[in-house]
A = this chain, B = another copy of it.
Amino acid sequence: MTTHPLSDPHLSAPSSPEGAGPALSAPAFSPLYQQIKSLILQGLQNGEWKPGDLIPSELELAARFRVSQGTVRKAIDELAADNLLVRRQGKGTFVATHAEQHIQYRFLRLHPDTGTLDSEGPASRQILACRRLRAPADITAPLGLRAGDALIQVSRVLSFHGVPTILEDLWLPGGPFKALTLDTLAQHQGPMYALFESQFGVRMVRAEEKIKAVSANAQAAQLLDVPEGTPLLSVERVAFTYNDAPMELRRGLYRTDRHHYRNELS
């Protein structure tokens, strides 16, 4: 019961219309646990709890927000279902992170055709370029920017077993990633999204991918060591951070002669 790092909740009881009540035509009924969820989300966004951190226990949060443990529990349940938090019985609840997350590449759906896991060793990465630029609308629009806004573009090749398999370009908004350099990328080990968390305070939460089949052009063919015209998967990804704000556009070409893109439907 110390001072609140989070601002005073001002929780509105479900059925107690306040002075500044809901608008006329909008019922806008919001369950308590949703409000708690938003408050916890604020703590994640404003950096009170960073990736990997232990957040307060359910009872602590219940006391802070003046609600029952069960209500906090339901809020955390949903955040954990969205992979924003990770519960560990007996230890506590932690902020999810792309680092130390035994799955090396959480957003990479490419799997080897044979062999149980992607334990074909960590991929070897080769950074081809890292440059600042002002890009046309087809790049900036998906990032919620205007044509001509400052961007950083990274090009790289991922190889498995020495076989170049993924060629991708990615674009990042110039503001948050101003300090990103080729050296930073080259020296870093592990998932790129872990670097974004630790060095730039940007946590990627979810992503959308659009997949097509295309033919390798001359440049792609050379970099992926396949004949020109070889069919490749074209994977365009937009990755989002906390408030559904797009923070990365990625365009990849995947060889699928020894790998496949795996998806679960339900």
A interface residues with partner B (beta carbon < 8 Å): 81-83, 106-107, 109, 205-215, 229, 231-233, 237, 254, 256, 260-266
Copies of this protein in the assembly total 2
Residues of B within 8 A of A233 (CB): 211-213, 233
Would you call B264 and A208 a contact (CB within 8 A)? yes
Known: A109-B265, A213-B213, A263-B263. 5 other contacts (CB 8 A): A83-B266, A207-B264, A210-B260, A211-B260, A212-B233
Task: Say what secondary structure dominates the interface of chain A.
Answer: strand
| Bound-state Cα–Cα, A211 to B266, Å | 17
Residues of B within 8 A of A229 (CB): 229
Give A223 Cβ to nearest chain B Cβ, in Å: 16
Residues of B within 8 A of A211 (CB): 211, 233, 256, 260-263
Given contacts A213-B213, A213-B232, A232-B213, contact A207 B260 (CB under 8 A): no
Would you call A265 and B212 a contact (CB within 8 A)? no
Looking across the interface, which residue of chain B has its beta carbon closest to that of A107?
B265
Residues of B within 8 A of A265 (CB): 106-107, 109, 206-209, 237
Give A249 Cβ to nearest chain B Cβ, in Å: 14
Most-contacted residue by chain B among A109, A206, A213 (CB, 10 A): A213
